[in-house]
Amino acid sequence: MAFSDYDFDDGSGKTATADQVQQAIFFARMFRDHSLLVHCHAGRCRSPAITLAVLADRLGEGREVDAVNGMLRLAPNAAPNLLVLSLAEQVLNRHGKLERAWLDRYEQAEEVAAAAAL
């Protein structure tokens, strides 16, 4: 599977699709009892977003914060692709919970960084 690292659908046909995110989740379900290697070019945006989607699926609804924390344990410098994250919301029917869990964590990190700079 291949798609560009854009946080929005630019109409080029090279951005992630819901079908691709769903395929990744379904593939991961076949290996539920195994480790998976998810990678992209830099390992900072696309693969962490897919990893977050897979973790959210494995952990189940209501455990979105745990999924974000698990993804960050695997990739501490991750900045998940927002389009993939939004598509994962749709595929998993999380109604904004997964995006909110990521954005809350991101905002906390920003606050810590700002306080450390003082």
Q: Would you mind telling me the total number of residues written for the chain in this entry?
A: 118
Is 108:75 a contact under the CB 8 Å cutoff? no
Give the model confidence (pLDDT) of 20-59 as tens digits: 999 999 999 999 888 877 877 666 788 999 999 999 999 9
Residue 100 pLDDT grade (very low, low, confident, very high; cuts 50, 70, 90): very high
Q: What is the pTM of this model?
A: 0.87
Rounded alpha-carbon distances, angstroms, from residue 29 to 2, 33, 36, 46, 96: 20, 9, 10, 19, 22
Which pLDDT does position 8 carry in this prediction?
80
Greater confidence (39 vs 90) lies with 90
> Quick one: tokens of 104?
């809350």
Give the model confidence (pLDDT) of 60-87 as tens digits: 999 999 999 999 999 888 899 999 999 9
Is 60:28 a contact under the CB 8 Å cutoff? no
What is the residue extent of each domain of the chain? Answer: 18-117
